[in-house]
A and B are shown apart, each in its own frame.
Chain A
Amino acid sequence: EVQLVESGGDLIQPGGSLRLSCAASGFTVSSSYMHWVRQAPGKGLEWVSAFYFGGTTYYADSVKGRFTISTDSSKDTLYLQMNSLRVEDTAMYYCVRALTGSSVFHYWGQGSLVTVSS
């Protein structure tokens, strides 16, 4: 059974850094197509970043240069390193698995809440 469990969300001041983790089970993260999708409180969904089998990474313009997606194959874990955080980065961050290189989001974690506020 595929499971995705996010952790690492917290209250952080603007300009700070945070790393989200997504522990996967039922499949191998490093040979999959993994994404982060976020949702600001009371708002819609926004794609953030992707890590593709083979190591190619993609980022939304809103986070490019500040966020880094990566995996640890020994732990079957996906990460999102978030630097220079802004108030507008406040959101629930979902770890998502697509079954192919197309961005069809088949499996979702329960989310990890990041709040950026002074």
Chain B
Amino acid sequence: DIQMTQSPSSLSASVGDRVTITCRASQSISTHLNWYQQKPGKAPKLLISSASSLQSGVPSRFSGSGSGTDFTLTINSPQPEDCATYYCQQFISTPTFGQGTKLEI
């Protein structure tokens, strides 16, 4: 299985900051990479698919980039409601997830 490694495991940011979460795949996955947001006690929510496609209804402060093995989720000027754990997931083969990044605002 393809291993997905996220960094950092947790971070703290302030409103107005720029937050960057990285995800690295153990082998090339082209752009077969999704990002999910999970708030405490809730199911995950799809934010970005295929590395950079923002899902309908997701605020434009979220963006994704990357291809091959290295990917980035960026949150410009995070808001208090963005407190959550973020997961990357590859779907070029048997789906696997990163270990998650917990964001505190």
* Residues in chain A within 8 A of chain B (CB atoms): 44-47, 58, 60, 94, 102-106, 108-111
- Check if B66 is an interface residue, CB within 8 A of chain A: no
Chain B residue, CB-CB nearest to A6 = B43
Given A104-B49, A105-B34, check contact A44 B98 (CB 8 Å).
yes
B: number of interface residues (CB 8 Å): 20
Contacts of A109 in B (CB 8 A): 43
* Residues in chain B within 8 A of chain A (CB atoms): 32, 34, 36, 42-46, 49-50, 87, 89, 91, 94-100
- Say yes or no: B91 contacts A102, CB within 8 Å: yes
- Say yes or no: B44 contacts A105, CB within 8 Å: yes
- Give the docked Cα–Cα distance between A45 and B99 (Å): 8
- Say yes or no: A103 contacts B43, CB within 8 Å: no
- Say yes or no: A105 contacts B97, CB within 8 Å: no
Q: Name 16 interchain pairs, CB-CB below 8 A, sorted by A.
A: A44-B87, A44-B97, A45-B44, A45-B97, A45-B100, A47-B94, A94-B44, A102-B32, A104-B50, A104-B91, A105-B44, A105-B46, A106-B46, A108-B45, A109-B43, A111-B43
